[in-house]
């Protein structure tokens, strides 16, 4: 069995800078519903340019380093387990992102609804689903039946009004990719609308788990694929479990703005709530770390 003391890992931090506390740290669980840190052994301590051993990392040292070097405000330190979430992000081999109001600065289905002249009705259903007031599958089906989107109308929308990326999401994605962290887009939105976003961010379409709208032979709406894990409530933990099983990830982090994203822990080791587009109180209350600017996450990734 793993002990409750998580093995510490090397922190690439120059010996000329302030050394932080603790060669190791015991911090137990990643909050309610999370798992113990599952890293089997500590990484060998790397050497800096002067051939000196670098400092080890712990949730406490990451938190202290973040507070010291970023001059963080109280808004950057919201969450139930901020240090643990930072450590999970520091060690993650996969980070999974919601798309709507997280990777993009809008709700894709609301954009589509506005384009089709049915914005107000669909926005009300979206709000209920995101705040946990309606089962996701019910909201999805009601919205699509209301919209009846054709393949042509969706493609025309994307050409005329490309979805807008959230500020600094490209910087975060580049930082993760530079550290060989796998990125997944796990969304209750629609694959047909998400694939162009993934392409912009250099994410493979094979790393998308999303809903598939079905069309008939002439491109008219013909339902949606109900076998997709994200087509139903509790779909995101199911999707992450499938991803973890297929790729043998040791530490996954979920990032998103909604109640369905918070459900992904476990199997995610940490849930990072995002409020840079819209702040949801229910998400703040459930997040291990709640951020409004992706540069806060970039700062942690850069310490790897």
> pLDDT tens digits for 64-78?
888 888 765 566 788
Same domain, 192 and 155: no
Per-residue pLDDT at 1: 40
At 9, which helix (H) or strand (E)? Answer: strand 9-10
Structure tokens at 125: 């259903």
DSSP 165: B
Same domain, 245 and 274: yes
Q: Which of 84, 93, 100, 114 is catalytic?
A: 100
| Residue 193 neighbours by CB under 8 Å, 6+ apart | 108, 112, 154, 158, 163
Structure tokens at 30: 């990643």
Same domain, 125 and 200: no
Q: Which of 48, 84, 93, 98 is catalytic?
A: 98
Residue 51 has pLDDT above 90, yes or no: no
In the chain, how many domains are there?
A: 3
Mean pLDDT, all residues of the chain: 80
Same domain, 180 and 133: no
Distance between CA atoms of residues 101 and 13, nearest Å: 34
Same domain, 156 and 180: no
Same domain, 78 and 114: no
Same domain, 279 and 172: yes
> Left, alpha or beta for 43 (phi > 0: left; psi -120 to 50: alpha)?
beta
Distance between CA atoms of residues 131 and 127, nearest Å: 6
Same domain, 136 and 30: no
Domain end call among 126, 144, 160: 160
Task: State the alpha helices, DSSP H only, in the chain.
Answer: 59-70, 82-91, 108-115, 119-130, 136-147, 151-160, 169-178, 191-200, 235-247, 259-262, 281-286, 295-301
Domain end call among 145, 160, 175: 160
On whether the CB atoms of residues 116 and 206 are closer than 8 A, the answer is no
Same domain, 25 and 50: yes
Residue 48 among the catalytic residues: no
Nearest in space to 265 (alpha carbons), one of 81, 100, 101: 81
Q: Which pTM does this prediction carry? A: 0.78
Per-residue pLDDT at 71: 66
> Left, alpha or beta for 25 (phi > 0: left; psi -120 to 50: alpha)?
beta
Same domain, 99 and 76: no
Structural domain boundaries, residue 39: 5-91
- Strand pairing class (221-224; 213-215): antiparallel
* 3-state SS, residue 272: strand
Distance between CA atoms of residues 257 and 234, nearest Å: 15
CATH for 242: 3.40.50.1000
> Left, alpha or beta for 169 (phi > 0: left; psi -120 to 50: alpha)?
alpha
| Residue 173 neighbours by CB under 8 Å, 6+ apart | 183, 201, 202, 203
CATH for 140: 1.10.150
| Residue 160 neighbours by CB under 8 Å, 6+ apart | none
Domain end call among 160, 175, 199: 160
Same domain, 148 and 15: no
Residue 100 among the catalytic residues: yes
Residue 197 has pLDDT above 80, yes or no: yes
Confidence band of 14 (pLDDT split at 50, 70, 90): very low
Residue 55 has pLDDT above 90, yes or no: no
Residue 15 has pLDDT above 70, yes or no: no
At 256, which helix (H) or strand (E)? Answer: strand 252-256
Q: DSSP letters along 66-131, please?
A: HHHHH---GGGSBSSSHHHHHHHHHH-SEEEE--BTTTBSS-HHHHHHHHTT-HHHHHHHHHHHHT
Same domain, 173 and 144: no
């Amino acid at each position: 069995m793993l002990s409750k003391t998580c093995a510490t890992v090397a922190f690439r931090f120059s010996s000329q800078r302030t050394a932080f506390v603790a060669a190791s740290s015991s911090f137990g669980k990643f909050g309610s519903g999370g798992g113990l840190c599952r890293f089997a052994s500590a990484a060998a301590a790397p050497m800096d340019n002067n051939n000196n051993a670098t400092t080890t990392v712990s949730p406490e040292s990451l938190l202290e380093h973040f507070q010291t070097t970023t001059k963080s405000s109280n808004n950057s330190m919201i969450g139930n387990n901020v240090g643990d979430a930072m450590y999970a992000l520091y060690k993650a081999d996969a980070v999974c992102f919601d798309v709507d109001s997280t990777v993009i600065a809008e709700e894709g289905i609301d954009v589509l609804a506005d384009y089709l002249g049915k914005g107000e009705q669909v926005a009300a259903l979206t709000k209920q689903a995101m705040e946990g007031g309606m089962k996701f599958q019910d909201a999805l089906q009601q919205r699509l039946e209301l919209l009846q989107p054709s393949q042509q109308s969706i493609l025309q929308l994307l050409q005329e009004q490309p979805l807008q990326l959230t500020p600094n999401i490209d910087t975060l994605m580049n930082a993760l990719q530079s550290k060989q962290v796998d990125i997944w887009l796990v969304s209750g939105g629609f694959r047909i609308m998400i694939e162009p976003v993934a392409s912009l961010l250099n994410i493979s379409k094979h790393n998308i788990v999303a809903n598939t709208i079905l069309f008939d032979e002439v491109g008219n709406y013909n339902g949606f694929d109900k076998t997709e894990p994200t087509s139903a409530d509790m779909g995101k933990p199911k999707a992450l479990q499938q991803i973890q099983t297929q790729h043998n990830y040791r530490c996954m982090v979920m990032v998103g703005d909604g109640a369905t994203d918070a459900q992904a822990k476990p199997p995610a080791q940490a849930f990072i709530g995002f409020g840079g587009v819209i702040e949801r109180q229910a998400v703040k209350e459930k997040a291990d770390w709640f951020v409004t600017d992706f540069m806060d996450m970039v700062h942690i990734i850069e310490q790897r």
